Amino acid sequence: MMNSKAEPDDELLCLNLSRVQARQGIPNARGDDGSGVRWVKPMHHKGRHFLQIPGPTNVPDRILRAVAQPTIDHRGPEFATLAREVLTGVRAVFKTSGPVVIFPSSGTGACEAALVNTLSPVDKVLTVEIGEFSRLWAELARRLGLDVHVIDTDWTRAVDPALVESALAADTGQKIKAVMVVHNETATGCVSAIPEIRKAMDRTGHPAMLLVDAVSSLGAMDLRHDEWGIDVTVSGSQKGLMLPPGLGFNAVSQKALAASRLSRFGKSYWSWESMLGPNQTGFFPFTPATNLLSGLREALQMIQEEGLENVFRRHAYLAEAARAAVRAWGLRIRCENPAECSDVLTTVMLPEGHDADAFRTIVLERFNLSLGAGLGRLKGRAFRIGHLGDLNELMLTGTLCGIEMGLQLAGVPFSPGGVNTAMANLTARQH
Ligand SMILES: Cc1ncc(COP(=O)(O)O)c(C=O)c1O
């Protein structure tokens, strides 16, 4: 929708967009050459915003309603019932029979909790940097005072288990206390094979713990905390669990629990021990995020109704259609090994010289669609399509339509027809 009267803020946006477009020689929506302030932002978008970033994801109305119930007394019996229900119920999503600690925190808080509970200052940890989130976790570990050994990669692949195996095999003094792996690297859309990494670790006979960041995979892609021999699985509420941001999770193995008793990191808020005691009777040592826990109960109910394995199948099927569209456009998918491509998101590279952030701005302003930004070394070079959470075929194809129209408006060279390819893909297959 065009509006000829732009507010001062809009003028600024118009100017910025026109400058970006002028730099790239892109005609804007009015067909100008980009030299004047001609782009006009729609004042009011109609319909629902398309939130297609790889988390936070769309929160279903059922969960919104659950979160919007009156806040209850977190020391009363109603809360204890709720807490016991979610603390037990969430184990099914992690596929664990052990404890899951729930913090009122973002995923990063839960990443920190995993480290400060299992390790001690100056312990050595090993990680493979496959994208911005593995880089950030390593940086967090460094700031805590851990001795972080990073194996670098070019951010186009998942973790190669052989790299972990040879690093552990070379550590004859068994100084490495933990291996940190991001399951679904949300910056690149590459998924690491945790069972293969576990087997590689076991082949060396090294006792290091396996700490896995499943912030963006839990509830969207298969993850088996117990069967895969993970010591701590870290996650958050705002991705596959379809909740607003605000809950952080640590699923904890017996080995990690034993390590926590020896940990010499100073901690209070993040202490598992302080949590696990009160949790047994349905309480928390401090004020929990009561309303989000009500939302979690609803989310677990929804996942159970659909069936966890069906949730994974739906994600795989929609992801395949999204990748088919990207391939048809002739754009490059960042994750180079098709077997490692994520069912949660697709990171798309724009051709050299095209600004992915300017493209995303056009898509947002014209079509009310939010796409994920390129992160870290992919900033401005890539955009990310989030296809996880409460998502169906029409939400996905609507998203792909917005992208295809945006590519045209942004003057990005591409082959039209990606949306048609995705539709053909979706109608041809049963999920
Ligand atoms: C894989 C991964 N790890 C960690 C984080 C950090 O989580 P948060 O932003 O909730 O702190 C994210 C967030 O997107 C993520 O995708």
Q: How far, in Å, from the CA of 356 to the mean position of ligand 1?
A: 21
Cβ of 236 less than 6 Å from ligand 1: yes
Distance 150 CA to ligand 1 centre (A): 19
Determine the CATH number of domain 62-304: 3.40.640.10
pLDDT confidence of residue 200: 98
- 126 in contact with ligand 1, CB cutoff 6 A: no
Look up the pTM and report it: 0.91
pLDDT tens over the chain, length 431 residues = 233 333 434 444 444 444 444 444 444 444 444 444 445 565 578 899 999 999 999 999 999 999 999 999 999 999 999 999 999 999 999 999 999 999 999 999 999 999 999 999 999 999 999 999 999 999 999 999 999 999 999 999 999 999 999 999 999 999 999 999 999 999 999 999 999 999 999 999 999 999 999 999 999 999 999 999 999 999 999 999 999 999 999 999 999 999 999 999 999 999 999 999 999 999 999 999 999 999 999 999 999 999 999 999 999 999 999 999 999 999 999 999 999 999 999 999 999 999 999 999 999 999 999 999 999 999 999 999 999 999 999 999 999 999 999 999 999 999 999 999 999 999 997 65
Query: Would the CA dihedral through 284, 289, 291, 292 be positive or negative?
Result: negative
253 contacts: CB under 8 Å, gap ≥ 6: 98, 225, 226, 229, 230, 231, 232
Residue 42 has a pLDDT of 59
Residue of the CA atom closest to atom 7 of ligand 1: 107
pLDDT of residue 430: 64
Domain spanning 8-57+308-428: which CATH class is it, in words? Answer: alpha beta
With the C-alpha atoms ordered 365, 366, 370, 374, is the resulting torsion angle positive or negative? negative
**The pLDDT value given to residue 30:** 46
Q: Where along the chain do its domains lie?
A: 8-57+308-428, 62-304
Other CB atoms within 10 Å distance of the CB of residue 229: 18
Give the pLDDT score at 46. 85
For residue 108, how far is its CA from the centre of ligand 1 (angstroms)?
6
Sheet with 382-386, strands from edge to edge, namely 50-52, 369-373, 382-386, 345-349, 332-333
For a pocket test of ligand 1, which of 155, 216, 233 has the largest count of ligand atoms closer than 8 A to its C-beta? 216
373 CA from centroid of ligand 1 (Å)? 14
Q: Residue 37 to residues 9, 17, 184, 363: CA-CA distances in angstroms?
A: 12, 9, 42, 18
CA of 213 to the centre of ligand 1 (A): 8
pLDDT at res. 278: 97
Q: Could you tell which of 51, 128, 159, 186 is best to mutate to test the pocket of ligand 1, judged by most ligand atoms within 8 Å of the CB?
A: 186
Q: Are 126 and 178 in contact (CB under 8 A)?
A: yes
pLDDT for the residue 9: 44
332 SS3 class = strand
